[in-house]
Amino acid sequence: MSVILEFTVENDQFSLGQVLSGPPEMSLELERIVPTGTGIMPFLWATGDDFDTFEEKVADHPYVDEFRAIDKIENSTLYRGLWVGNHDDLTKGIVDAEGTILEGHSNTDKWEFHLRLQDHDKLSKFYNFCTDRDISIHIVRTFTVTERTESIKEYGLSHEQREALILGLREGYFDTPRKASLNDLADTLGISQQAMSNRMRRGTEQVLSEALLSTSADFD
């Protein structure tokens, strides 16, 4: 049975955190991905004001082989990075445990990760990897799919997606005309606008898939 692990880690505890830490201060979010040894966390959203300084700083780091912008949406930019070096740290631990990064984001001096691991053995493998290498992580919570609340299980939503959708409904984001913007909702949750957009988009897609596709056979 798969296990979800939510934890935080300081920037200085892993190489990628060191590469991406400020200044300038940027809100960062990793694209959902299954890391591999040849492509560790290649896609990254950044939200902020000083993109030129951020790009120059990251591109000049010795751990970085290539760093380039590939897409822009409002005040956020999607980057693709090629990281070099041994990476015998947090990222390798995720790879070795065959973990899937459901969410990974940073606003200041630490990152928050949500990982999906195949079972408790993989969870133990990842935790032991971190412990053996003195990588200090703070575990927020762990849970299995069956331990979610019934309302979350019904549509397969993550806690964050459900929280975002409920907030959007309560604040009038779905009203016409809208009573709240994505930025308003993001400020309420203390996350970046891009992170809020991703949660709303993925949550809406999940609800529609469960509500419509699961019963589509009735209309075939």
pTM: 0.65
Give the chain's mean pLDDT.
Answer: 82
What is the structure's pLDDT at 206?
Answer: 83
Q: Show me where the domains of the chain are located.
A: 3-145, 148-215
pLDDT digits 0-9 by tens, 36-86: 554 566 788 898 888 999 999 999 988 888 899 998 887 889 998 887 765
Short-list 117, 121, 114, 165, CA closest to 137? 114
Short-list 58, 71, 49, CA closest to 20? 58
**125: which 2 tokens?**
């493998």
pLDDT digits 0-9 by tens, 137-158: 999 888 886 655 444 445 677 8
pLDDT > 90 fraction of the chain, expressed in percent and rounded: 22
Select 148-215's CATH number: 1.10.10, 1.20.1300, 3.20.20, 3.30.1490: 1.10.10
Length of the chain measured in residues: 220
Short-list 185, 193, 156, CA closest to 76? 193
Residue 179 has pLDDT above 80, yes or no: yes
Helix (H) or strand (E) holding 152: helix 150-155
Residue 128 has pLDDT above 90, yes or no: yes
> Which residue would you say has higher pLDDT here, 85 or 24?
24
Short-list 90, 133, 96, 131, CA closest to 113? 90
Is residue 102 a contact partner of residue 116, using CB atoms and an 8 Å limit? yes
What is the structure's pLDDT at 74?
Answer: 76
